[in-house]
Structure 1
Amino acid sequence: MSVFQLNNGYSLSTHEVKEFASDLSSYGIPYQESEHWLEVGDCELRNNFTLYISVLSQQVQSLLHQVIPVLEGYAVSYRLLKNNRLVDQSNGLTLGIKEAGRIIEIYPKQAKQAIQLVRELESVTSTFQGITPYDSLRIGKVLYTALDTGIRYHIPVAYRNKRRKGIIGKYYIPTKLLRFNPKGDIYLGVNIKQFAFSHCIIKQARAASFIDRYGRESAHKLFWQKSVLEAIQHELPVPQVIDFCSKGEDHYLVTSYINGQVLPERLKDVYRDRIWRELGVVDKVKILGYFLQITEILKRLHELGYLHRDVQINNFIIKEDKVYLLDFELAYYMPAGTPDPPFGYGTAMFMSPQQRRSEQPEPGDDIYSMGVVLAFMILNPVDQESFSGNIYNALVNAGLEAVLLDVVINCLDPAPAKRPTLSSIITLLKTGDIPGKIELV
């Protein structure tokens, strides 16, 4: 595969893979393989009655032996992910946030059958745990369906969505959902401590939303992010830690609010439906200035001993032309080798081949991601999903200058030792043959 061929679905874990085909075979159930799935019956059937079962990878096989007899009794079609590695990838959002948590998909033929199925499935799955799938209605402990199906399910009170989160900790009131995430949402909130009434960001770690093979949950990653931010927040443009608290079984990191635009939004404002070759020098310099700031932030982060390991376009916010770096859950502290082992998973397409293979973290991982970020900034795709395929021709067709094309090519070199240093990228941006060059503010 070309280093410019970007796609989803990389293998991320090296631990033992448990194939679920053997579980189907133990019941004598015929199945077909289709991409990530094992399919039983006619899985082309799509209607408003589709049910989803979400479950953690450690519990899949136990759940299957509870669920399969029920599904066979109703003679419904269904499909499940092939193995526990794919379940980890799904729960870790590597297969895409819209697919996360949909470990088993069930296709009842009619509403009455769906209602009966849910009742029986809930009775055998109420002890299991799973993440919350995207754009879904929770109707059981690990059972979900699409929104607005028209079916009136009896939903236990414990699983009903609450319109308001209520106060978090003692002082933080969520006011707006900024981003849904199966492992924990992000809210804009108000900090009422000492009558400050200032905006803050409230990041949630849902209980039992993810457990890696070392027993670490989303809350562990969130607490690690707090620790990293506290260590670097006076050195770099990052959110400031306000608090870490819990409500029920969920945990929350409260940080300062940076009132700006995420990088893709700012790029669209600059491009205004043009491509790179159509931009004037002022706009090109503005975009490259953002990239220079990103490079300098990462250089300083590395000097402090940390790797970010999730360098991607949605983790940068621009406020008054100043770049801020977000989301340190996957960070790695090189001097102490912590966390040990490193937290797994990153953002598909932005990860280096070494990170996808769960190899020892190194600076080259962030530099690879920098190359993908620069390519994204030049191509300004409609959305992240469309940013795939062979991007080399797209960069050439966009009119990218040779010196910048070389930066992308070199950052994406399969061999980490051949990737450029952050210092050399900075020098190139300031002194290279680039329109307008870069003026540091």
Structure 2
Amino acid sequence: MLQYPSLEKAFELPLKENDKLLKASGVKFIDDHIWLRSGEFRATHGWLIYLSVRTASLQALLNDILPILKDGNTPFRIIRNEHEAYRLHAGLYGPHLIGKGIQFHARTEGEGRHLIDRLLPLTGTYAGCIIQDCIRISNIIYAQEVSNRIPQPTKAPFPFTVEKKYRKPASRKFVGLFYLPVEELNYSPKSTIYKGFNFKRPFKWCLIKQGNSHTGDDHFGRDIRDKLRWQKKVIKALEAHVRTPKFIDLAEYEAFSFLVLEYVDGVHAGQWLEQIRQGKTWKDLGTDTKKIILEVYLSILSLVKHMHDAGYVHRDINERNFIIDGGRRTYIIDFEMACCLHDGLPDPPFTLGTIGYMSPEQMSYMKPHFGDDVYSLGALLAYFLTGELPERIFFGEMYTVRGKLQEYAVESRLADLIIKMTDTNYLERATMNMAINQVEDLITFYL
């Protein structure tokens, strides 16, 4: 009997190619890896002018700026297509490139000023994510000076006119009415995590997740704000069934969203594992330590099983999305990618996940199913036993996985379980109950 029904595509993406648009319009360019490049785009001096636009609006913007692209006066490079734009905005080519899908090289201040004057009336209706390392000139135009000289302190004024509302960074001490960010815990171009003080409940800490403007956009017009709104719904639905930080508030203003959650004093599973292993391999760990690691892993399996029982699949299981407190209690977090299988929401599901942990079906945009999480949990078990990120273990053909696990002296029963949980054929993959039962049996081996 098959454990999962046959899967279908969750959606089809008719991704557009930018080279076709440019060719049809007579714009001259050459292919350059993920870029379409015109002119000698070697930014060793002058100014880089960026247009940060959401993926879904990329071709509309290109249509509007075609006169500038066609005249060939300013070297440029443009992301090759919508697929690559999506990857670029997700940070897969590095955080330094997020938002920089359209780039111009102005060799002088005068050239840059002339270009910006032409771009301003063509770009006023568009939106995009904030580029962190540049000066913002308008809603989507940014500038960055480049030089092949050794940087020298300078008091030279910025040569381009900045719209008034972007001249000074917005300062806001409180999130909403009651929550004060105190300590930055983690930063990424998509979001910033703060430990905060909850003045609504004095002497209580909270966790504040700030979704940065227009980041994490997809082909359906959604971005990080939509993901945080969805996460609020999932937490409220699950917090009675699963150990997870409780929802407190969702504050939104301008293009930012702030998800406020209960603060759990602990570390993520990757940090906890480093602390308990103390640099030792699985082979060199004592029996008691091995048993503790497997018990924590079993608690993670149980959390995900409770989530499945409530009708939800997580779809972004990795070592950072479980918090372990001082009493070795485990909490599951970060439900932005989650799906409710009972009502098929969100429709379409949010895409991407964590490389190395994603099932083949998830990477192929198939409809979500519980087997996605089983695969990710198998990858997580490999991480728990080897300390290596799964992309290093599962890169290449699956038949090499056993050999890689043997290099870390992982016992054959554990290796068998990992291979069964990460079977690329979802019809042959282990079920959650099978995984739980086998880990329970393995723990008794270390008693």
Q: TM-score, normalised by structure 1?
A: 0.84
Further displaced range: 198-207 or 418-427? 198-207
Per-residue CA deviations over 1:234-279 (Å, capped at 9, x if unaligned) read: 2222110111222334332211111211222222223333333333
2:414 matched to 1:416?
no
Q: Distance in 1 between matches of 2:377 and 2:46?
A: 42
**CA deviation digits over 1:348-367, x for unaligned, max 9?**
33221211222111100111
Tell me, in whole angstroms, the C-alpha distance in 1 between the residues paired with 2:194 and 2:88. Answer: 23
Distance 1:73 1:30, change over 3 A: closer
CA contact (8 A) 2:39 2:72 kept: no
Residue 129 of structure 1: how far off its partner (Å): 0.9
Which residue pairs with 1:270 in the alignment? Answer: 276
Quote the Cα distance in structure 2 between the aligned partners of 1:236 and 1:302: 10
Q: Structure 1 residues 286 and 48 mapped into 2: Cα distance closer, same or farther (>3 Å)?
A: farther
User: How far, CA to CA, are the matches of 2:54 and 2:169 in structure 1?
Assistant: 24
Give the alignment partner of residue 296 of structure 2, picking from 274, 290, 300. Answer: 290
Asked whether the equivalents of residues 305 and 334 of structure 1 are also in contact (C-alpha less than 8 Å), the reply is yes
Aligned residue among 258, 281, 289 for 1:252: 258
Question: What is the deviation of 1:227?
Answer: 1.4
Paired residue type of 1:365: D
Structure 1's 77 and 372: CA in aligned 2 closer, same or farther, altered over 3 A?
farther
Per the alignment, residue 317 of structure 1 pairs with 323
Do residues 18 (structure 1) and 12 (structure 2) align? no
Equivalences for residues 329-408 of structure 1 within 5 A: 329-381=336-388, 389-390=395-396, 392=401, 393-408=403-418
What corresponds to 1:224 in structure 2?
230
Deviation at 1:197, TM superposition (A): 3.7
Larger radius of gyration: 2
Report the CA distance between 1:212 and its aligned residue.
4.1
Separation in 1 of the partners of 2:194 and 2:177? 16
- Identity, % of aligned positions: 28
Query: TM-score normalised to the size of structure 2?
Result: 0.83
C-alpha separation in 1, matches of 2:275 and 2:133: 28
> Aligned match of 1:430 in 398, 416, 440?
440
- Aligned-pair distance for 1:379? 3.2
Aligned partners of 2:44 and 2:146 also within 8 Å: no
Residue equivalent to 2:104: 106
The Cα shift of 1:34 comes to 3.6
Give the match's secondary structure for 2:248. strand
Q: Which of the pair has the greater relative contact order for Cα pairs under 8 Å at 6+ separation?
A: 1
For 1:415, give the aligned amino acid. N
**1:191 maps to what in 2?**
198
> How many correspondences in the alignment?
425
SS in 1 for 2:283: helix
Contact conserved, 1:138 with 1:159, CA < 8 A, in 2? Answer: yes
Q: Which amino acid letter does the alignment assign opposite residue 270 of structure 1? A: I
> 1:402 deviation in Å?
1.5
**Separation in structure 2 between the aligned mates of residue 38 and residue 60 of structure 1, nearest angstrom:** 14
Deviations 1:320-370 (A, max 9, x none): 122211111221112222223323332233221211222111100111111
State the alpha-carbon separation in 2 of the partners of residues 258 and 62 from structure 1.
Answer: 44
For the pair 1:57 / 2:67, whether they are aligned, the reply is no
Residue 80 (structure 1) shift: 2.0
CA offset at residue 41 of structure 1? 3.0
- Counterpart of 1:175, as a letter, is V
Given candidates 293, 300, 305, the residue that maps to 2:306 is 300
| Offset from partner CA, 1:377-396 (integer Å, 9 cap, x none) | 33324x79877744724432
User: Which residue matches 2:186?
Assistant: 179
CA root-mean-square deviation: 3.2
- Pairwise CA distance, 1:300: 1.0
| Deviation digits for residues 283-337 of structure 1 (CA, Å, limit 9, x no counterpart) | 3333323221211111111011111111122211221122211111221112222
Match of 2:5 in 1: none
Structure 2: 5+ residue stretches without partners: 1-8
Assess, with a 3 A threshold, how the Cα gap between structure 1 residues 405 and 160 changes in structure 2: closer, same or farther.
farther
What CA distance in whole angstroms lies between the structure 2 residues aligned with 1:385 and 1:115? Answer: 45
Equivalent positions of 1:77-96 (< 5 A) are 77-93=75-91
Equivalent pair of 1:17/1:83 in contact (CA under 8 Å): yes
For residues 92-134 of structure 1, give each alpha carbon's deviation from its aligned partner in whole angstroms, at most 9, with x where no partner exists: 4455555433212334445664555445434432321111346
Conserved 8 A contact 1:138-1:144: yes
Q: Distance in 1 between matches of 2:117 and 2:163?
A: 11
Deviates more, 1:13-22 or 1:32-41: 32-41
1:123-134 pair list within 5 angstroms: 123-133=121-131
Q: SS of 2:129's equivalent?
A: coil
1:249 and 1:50 mapped to 2: Cα distance?
Answer: 25
Partner secondary structure for residue 320 of structure 2: helix
SS in 1 for 2:315: coil
- CA shift in 2, pair 1:339/1:75, >3 Å: same
Q: Secondary structure at the match of 1:416?
A: coil
Alpha-carbon shift at residue 64 of structure 1 (Å): 1.5
Between the aligned partners of 1:176 and 1:182, the Cα distance in structure 2 is 17
Shift of 1:51: 3.9
C-alpha distance after superposition, 1:375-418 (max 9, x if no partner): 2333324x798777447244321222222222222222122121
